[in-house]
């Protein structure tokens, strides 16, 4: 396909969807309300999918919103346009009650919980006939007709949808939007960047509920009567279909997805109905199309329609081999923007724990099932030194880093950081207190650029919230620009300036490692945990990395480095801790450790 | 208000019998659910649609085809295995090949479920299908005379069949070579592959077994309620999920225990709680939410709820 056609194709798709919807609405003007409400519901599902959550609660929240606003408007006499946001708030409260316990667990629990939630809402509607009209007879369908109902105008609905789209658009360009993308790509790495993943997921779930409630309330006042069958489980799946087809990547996806799936069955019936007779009365057609859309999109085009609009990848990025580092230049690109972006301003905050050890492990153990990966390991770290953590494979080195960075709690023992016990604290809090890390198996946010990856590292040092992004305050823009500049500076220092705009997953292995280090440094840590930073690097690159680590030490950063390159360890470390089968077998300055009997035995075996 | 039934032992035993047979069905259904989750870490939300199609398959063989009960059972289980195989090949394997996340698999199975239920609605309509009396005599037995505890042939069949299936699955997983391979894949797919285990083959077997369990549950529920409709999966799906969580995700023994517990709690609530029958549909969700709040790993405490 030619470049021009590739660029034009998403716009053609969008235009076709708009044309189909225009046909729909001209034929039956009432369908415009339906279309807008579907788009709003899709936006509600998008809010959760965007945060990598599978929620089927949108239909249930829409039901609550619909009945709440109807009751407020009709039984309590609230003005209609006041009853709509009030109903959304009711949904928000319910979402907090459900979300707080469930979103701490694995994602699948939210899916299950929201499945049951829809059922509870349906049962509650039937059980409260005084308020909702309940059910008549066994078919569970009854009206909540209200004669006094004032209808809403279509333009208010359109305005509300446009406003919501604006909120999503503005948020997607902010610190919060970046954090959500990071969570979507790698929630564990996001957590160790100091992003409170659970809080963001709760926020996404809350937003989803508010929007669904709003859509439901508009539905009630658009149709003028309610039926508990309006929000049955199939509806939840419809909504998911809109959002998945639209794509979870961009704010305009849900509207396009809803536009397509709302129009498609009617279009098919009108266009092909005369040729294929049974289409005319094929009641299941919308559902079957929806199911097909869900499966086909998720298998063949997981980005949905929105992905068509995504920026074209840098041409040839797959093939370009990064130029080998010139030995003289080494890793630290000293000509670059360098020192302006002070790597380590953090030590200026050095305070508090005078006399107490910087980091102290006391009898730390961790077992997996019956296997003890770490057993009673104790040692102290002093501020400003470089520590090496070595040992044969399976000695428990990565486990130790995972414990210190909070990815898992120790089975027993204490970890004291700046005089406070931090074992069992969640990783994002530990990250905020000044501990950053890199990973043995690289954990970058693969679809974000190298630069964006590093900016995520600035998350905890930025202040702008959603409100600032929505109001497009100058302070927020300034902060974004500063973060960008600082991230650029860090990349330049690591000789990565030229690849800053490239997608992280497409970078070479060595570059990815260095982007990870830059990302960790963007957090301005006081303690940096490096898990095999030189893996996959050649001798020259390794030596340059060593110089860089020494330079970091010069800026006052304390470093704990896990490495198999013994040359590197011997050259840069002030102290070495040796683990074997989860136990500490030696500790001391490099020369002493190198002569240690137990260490020699662990590495070479006893002759 | 007459509350004497509280003290009536026959009433209590009657409810225990009903609750246990109901619970046995939940257990059989949930075993397939939890097996897939335990091995693949994904929720197959088309399990209930498979269940429904198998009830129809059994009905066609026995009511329309006039074949005897054992053949109907076998046909339902075969149909379940076949449907599950198709699901694995069309809805799950393509995603595994792409290395997609678990969320995508769930979404794919939701799509598959919607298609399966819609096609059933289009093909079978909304009218209820019933078994003729010759398939299973609807006259119940009475223990302790005509005023005693009533137990139907369907209930006896359910209890017997579910015990056979539960014990059979347990032996299969614990004692056979394939069972060992399934456990290995569940523990660590990558390691299993490195050890020379045919991971895709093991996953296919897992789906076949889970599908057969859905089939058994489908035909047994159909025999108990004698009410076969395209929407019948929705009723048991939420209960199955509640049972899976109650027993701990991926825990087969937990699903059995959880199934019996839910069956008993539902039946006893309806019997002894005023207004109980109104809330019976909500009980499963209330249990589910309470467990998530208090003990997310399930009552057997070996689930995998916490974040890794």
List, for residues A194-205, the tens digit of each pLDDT value. Answer: 999 999 999 999
Position A334 confidence tier, pLDDT thresholds 50, 70, 90: very low
**Which residues of chain A lie closer than 8 angstroms to B289, CB-CB?**
98, 101, 113, 116
Q: Which residue of A has its CA nearest to B278?
A: A127
Cβ of residue B276 closer than 8 Å to a chain A Cβ: no
Residue whose token pair is 């662990």: A602
pLDDT, one tens digit per residue, over A86-114 is: 999 999 999 999 998 889 888 888 998 99
Distance from CA of B249 to the nearest CA of A (A): 10
Task: Specify the higher pLDDT residue, A343 or A383.
Answer: A383
Which positions in chain B touch A244 (Cβ < 8 Å)? 107
Closest CA to A288 of B124, B122, B83: B122
Which residues is A386 bridged to in the sheet? A559
**Chain A residues inside the 8 Å CB shell of B278:** 127
The ipTM estimated for the assembled molecules is 0.90
Provide, for chain A, the percentages of residues in helix, strand and coil under a 3-state DSSP scheme, each rounded to the nearest 5.
Answer: 60, 10, 30
**Total CB pairs under 8 A between chain A and B:** 134
CB of A128 within 8 Å of a chain B CB? The answer is no
Closest A-chain CA to B248: A109
DSSP A311: P
- pLDDT for B176: 94
Please give the Cα distance from A461 to B47 (Å, whole number). Answer: 47
CA nearest B122 in A: which residue? A284
Which residues of chain A make contact with B94, given a CB cutoff of 8 A?
299
Contact B238 A282 (CB under 8 A): no
Q: In this prediction, what percent of chain A has a pLDDT beyond 90?
A: 52
| Mean pLDDT value of segment B190-198 | 92
Pair B266, B280: CB distance under 8 Å: yes
Residues whose CB falls within 8 Å of the CB of residue A550, separated by 6 or more in sequence, listed in order: A386, A572
Which pLDDT belongs to residue B127?
85
Burial A101-133 (b: 16+ CB within 10 A, else e): bbbbbbbbbbbbbbbbbbbbbbbbbbbeeeebb
Compute the distance between CA of residue A444 and CA of residue A348 in angstroms, rounded to an integer: 29
Which tens digit of pLDDT belongs to each residue from A420-440? 999 989 999 999 999 999 999
Per DSSP, which regions of A285-385 are E strands? 359-368, 371-381
Q: Coil, strand, or helix at residue A586?
A: strand
pLDDT at B1: 52
pLDDT of residue A213: 97
Does the beta carbon of A141 lie under 8 angstroms from any beta carbon of chain B? no
Strands A575-580 and A558-562: unpaired
Q: How confident is the model at residue A149 (pLDDT cuts 50, 70, 90)?
A: low
Q: Give me the pLDDT at residue B141, please.
A: 86
Closest by Cβ to A108, choosing from B43, B117, B119: B43
The count of other CB atoms within 10 Å of the CB of residue B153 is 16
A128 band by pLDDT with thresholds 50, 70 and 90: confident
Which pLDDT band holds residue A225 (cuts at 50, 70, 90)? confident
The pair phi, psi for residue A210, each rounded to 5°, is -60, -45
DSSP state of A73: I
C-alpha to C-alpha distances, B102 to A41, A48, A228, B84, B99, nearest whole angstrom: 23, 15, 32, 18, 9
Structure tokens that stand for A100 in this block = 């707080």
pLDDT at residue A366 tops 90: yes
Read off the pLDDT of each residue in B170-199 and give the average, rounded to a whole number.
92
Nearest one of A521, A323, A358 to A436, comparing CA atoms: A521
Q: Which residues contact B116 (CB under 8 A, 6 or more apart)?
A: B46, B49, B50, B52, B53, B83
Half-sphere CA count of B140, side-chain side, radius 13 A = 16
Put simply, the answer to whether A106 touches B306 (Cβ < 8 Å) is yes
pLDDT at A316 over 60: no
- pLDDT at residue number B280: 78
Contact predicate B254/B299, CB 8 Å: yes
Average pLDDT, chain A: 85
Contacts of B304 in chain A (CB under 8 A): 106
What's the rounded Cα separation, in Å, for the pair A80 and B162? 55
- pTM given for the model: 0.89
What CATH architecture is B8-109+153-306? Orthogonal Bundle (1.10)
- Output the pLDDT for position A325: 35
What does the alpha-carbon distance between residue B82 and residue B54 come to, in Å, rounded to a whole number?
10
Q: Which residue of A has its CA nearest to B93?
A: A299
Mean pLDDT of chain B: 90
Query: CA–CA distance from A287 to each of A49, A62, A120, A282, B88 (Å)?
Result: 21, 19, 23, 10, 21
Question: Is the minimum CB–CB distance between B187 and chain A shorter than 8 Å?
Answer: no
Q: Give me the helices (H) in A285-395, please.
A: 285-300, 304-308
Distance from CA of B128 to the nearest CA of A (A): 14
pLDDT in tens, A235-272: 889 999 999 999 988 899 999 999 999 999 888 888 88
* CA–CA separation, A205 and A53 (whole Å): 8
What confidence score (pLDDT) does residue A392 get?
Answer: 87
What pLDDT sits at residue A104?
87
**B68 Cα to chain A: minimum distance (Å):** 33
Predicted pLDDT at B210 = 97
User: Region B195-213: what's the mean pLDDT?
Assistant: 95
Residues 224-253 in A contacting B (C-alpha not used; CB under 8 Å): 233-234, 237, 240-241, 244
Please check the confidence at residue A84 and state whether its pLDDT lies above 50: yes
CB contact under 8 A, A291 and B113: yes
Instruction: Name chain B contacts of A123, Cβ cutoff 8 Å.
Output: 279, 281-282
At residue A31, does pLDDT exceed 60? yes
Would the pLDDT of A119 be above 90? no
B106 interface with A at CB cutoff 8 Å: yes
Helices B47-59 and B102-124: crossing angle in degrees, nearest 10, is 30
Q: In what order do the strands lie in the sheet with A386-390?
A: A435-437, A527-531, A558-562, A386-390, A575-580, A583-588
Name the residue facing B281 among A101, A123, A287 (closest C-beta). A123
- A237: chain B residues, CB-CB within 8 Å: 110-111, 113-114
pLDDT digits (tens, 9 = 90+) for B28-72: 999 999 999 999 888 999 999 999 999 999 999 998 888 999 999
Where residue A146 falls among pLDDT bands split at 50, 70, 90?
low
User: A570, A551, A553, A569: which is closest to A561 by C-alpha?
Assistant: A569
Q: How far is A511 from chain B (nearest CA, A)?
A: 23
Pick from A67-81, A399-413, B68-82: least confident: A67-81
| CA A31 centroid distance within chain | 35
Q: Which residue of A has its CA nearest to B120?
A: A284
Contact A116 B115 (CB under 8 A): no
Contacts of B269 in chain A (CB under 8 A): none
High-pLDDT (> 90) share of chain B, %: 64
Tell me, yes or no, if A315 comes closer than 8 A to chain B by beta carbon.
no
Lowest mean per-residue pLDDT among A312-321, A392-401, B72-81:
A312-321
Residue A566 has pLDDT above 60, yes or no: yes
Q: Touching check for A105 and chain B: CB below 8 Å? A: yes
More confident call, B145 vs A308: A308
Show the tokens assigned to A492: 């330049």
Residue count of chain A: 607
Contact flag A292-B111 (C-beta cutoff 8 Å): yes
């Amino acid at each position: 396909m030619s470049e021009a056609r590739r660029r034009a194709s998403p716009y053609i798709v969008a235009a076709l969807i708009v044309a189909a919807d225009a046909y729909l609405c001209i034929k039956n003007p009432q369908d415009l309300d339906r279309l807008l409400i579907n788009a709003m519901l899709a936006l509600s599902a998008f809010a959760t999918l965007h945060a990598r959550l599978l929620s089927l609660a949108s239909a249930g929240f829409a039901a609550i919103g619909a009945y709440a606003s109807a009751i407020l408007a009709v039984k309590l006499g609230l003005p209609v346009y006041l009853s709509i946001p009030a109903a959304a708030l009711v949904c928000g409260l319910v979402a907090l009650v459900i979300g707080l316990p469930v979103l701490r667990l694995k994602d699948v629990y939210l899916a299950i919980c929201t499945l049951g939630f829809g059922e509870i809402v349906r049962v509650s509607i039937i059980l409260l006939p005084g308020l909702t009209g309940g059910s008549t007879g066994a078919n569970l369908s009854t009206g909540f007709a209200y004669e006094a109902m004032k209808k809403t105008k279509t333009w208010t609905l359109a305005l509300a949808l446009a406003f919501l789209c604006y909120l999503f658009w503005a948020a997607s360009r902010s610190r919060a939007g970046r954090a959500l993308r990071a969570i979507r790509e790698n929630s564990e790495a996001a957590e160790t960047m100091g992003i409170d993943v659970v809080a963001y997921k709760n926020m996404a779930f809350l937003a989803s509920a508010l929007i669904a409630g709003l859509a439901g309330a508009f539905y009630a006042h658009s149709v003028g009567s309610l039926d508990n069958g309006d929000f049955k489980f199939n509806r939840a799946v419809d909504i998911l279909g809109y959002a998945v087809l639209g794509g979870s990547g961009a704010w305009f996806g849900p509207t396009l997805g809803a536009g397509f799936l709302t129009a498609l069955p009617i279009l098919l019936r009108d266009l092909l109905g005369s040729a294929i007779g049974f289409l005319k009365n094929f009641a299941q057609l919308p559902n079957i199309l929806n199911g097909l859309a869900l499966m086909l999109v998720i298998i063949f085009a997981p980005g949905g329609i929105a992905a068509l609009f995504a920026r074209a990848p840098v041409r040839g990025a797959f093939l370009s081999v990064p130029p080998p580092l010139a030995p003289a230049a080494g890793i630290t690109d000293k000509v670059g923007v360098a020192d302006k972006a002070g790597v380590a301003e953090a030590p200026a905050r050095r305070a508090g724990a005078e006399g107490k050890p910087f980091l102290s492990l006391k009898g730390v153990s961790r077992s997996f099932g019956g296997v003890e990966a770490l057993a009673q390991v104790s040692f102290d770290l002093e501020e400003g030194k470089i520590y090496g953590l070595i040992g044969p494979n399976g000695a428990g080195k990565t486990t130790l880093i995972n414990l210190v960075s909070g990815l898992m709690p120790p089975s027993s023992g204490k970890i004291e950081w700046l005089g406070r016990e931090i074992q069992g604290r969640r990783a994002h809090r530990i990250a905020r207190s000044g501990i950053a890390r890199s990973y043995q198996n690289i954990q970058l946010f693969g679809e974000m650029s190298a630069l964006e990856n590093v900016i995520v590292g600035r998350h905890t040092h930025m202040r702008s919230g959603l409100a600032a992004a929505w109001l497009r305050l100058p302070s927020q823009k300034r902060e974004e620009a500063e973060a960008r500049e600082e991230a650029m500076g860090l990349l330049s220092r690591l000789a990565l300036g030229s690849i800053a705009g490239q997608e992280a997953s497409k970078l070479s292995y060595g570059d990815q490692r260095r982007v990870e280090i830059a990302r960790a440094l963007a957090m301005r840590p006081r303690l940096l945990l490096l898990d095999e930073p030189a893996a996959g690097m050649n001798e020259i690159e390794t030596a340059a990395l060593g110089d860089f680590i020494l330079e970091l030490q010069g800026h006052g950063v304390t470093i704990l480095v896990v490495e198999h390159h013994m040359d590197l360890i011997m050259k840069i470390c002030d102290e070495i801790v040796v683990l074997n089968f989860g136990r500490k077998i030696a500790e001391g300055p490099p020369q002493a450790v190198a002569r240690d009997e137990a260490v020699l035995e662990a590495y070479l075996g006893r002759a | 208000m007459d509350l004497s039934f509280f003290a009536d032992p026959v009433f209590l035993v009657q409810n225990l019998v009903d609750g246990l047979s109901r619970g046995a069905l939940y257990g059989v259904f949930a075993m397939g659910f939890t097996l897939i989750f335990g091995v693949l870490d994904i929720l197959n939300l088309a399990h209930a649609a498979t269940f429904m199609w198998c009830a129809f398959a059994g009905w066609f063989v026995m009511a329309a085809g006039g074949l005897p009960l054992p053949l109907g059972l076998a046909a339902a289980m075969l149909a379940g295995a076949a449907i599950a195989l198709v699901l694995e090949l069309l809805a799950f394997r393509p995603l595994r090949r792409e290395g997609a996340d678990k969320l995508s698999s769930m979404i794919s199975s939701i799509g598959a479920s919607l298609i399966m239920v819609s096609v059933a609605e289009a093909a079978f309509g909304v009218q209820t299908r019933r078994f003729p009396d010759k398939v299973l005599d609807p006259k119940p037995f009475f223990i302790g005379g005509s005023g005693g505890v009533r137990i139907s042939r369907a209930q006896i069949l359910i209890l017997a069949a579910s015990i056979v299936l539960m014990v059979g699955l347990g032996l299969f997983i614990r004692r056979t070579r394939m069972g060992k391979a399934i456990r290995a894949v569940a523990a660590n797919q990558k390691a299993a592959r490195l050890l020379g285990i045919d991971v895709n083959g093991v996953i296919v077997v897992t789906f076949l077994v889970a599908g057969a369990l859905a089939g058994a549950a489908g035909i047994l529920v159909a025999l108990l309620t004698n009410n076969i409709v395209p929407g019948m999966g929705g009723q048991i799906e939420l209960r199955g999920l509640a049972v899976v969580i109650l027993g701990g995700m991926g825990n087969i023994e937990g699903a059995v225990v959880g199934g019996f517990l839910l069956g008993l709690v539902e039946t006893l609530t309806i019997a002894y709680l005023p207004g109980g029958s109104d809330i019976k549909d909500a009980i499963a969700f209330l249990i589910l939410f309470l467990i998530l709040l208090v003990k997310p790993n399930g009552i057997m405490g070996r689930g995998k709820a916490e974040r890794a």
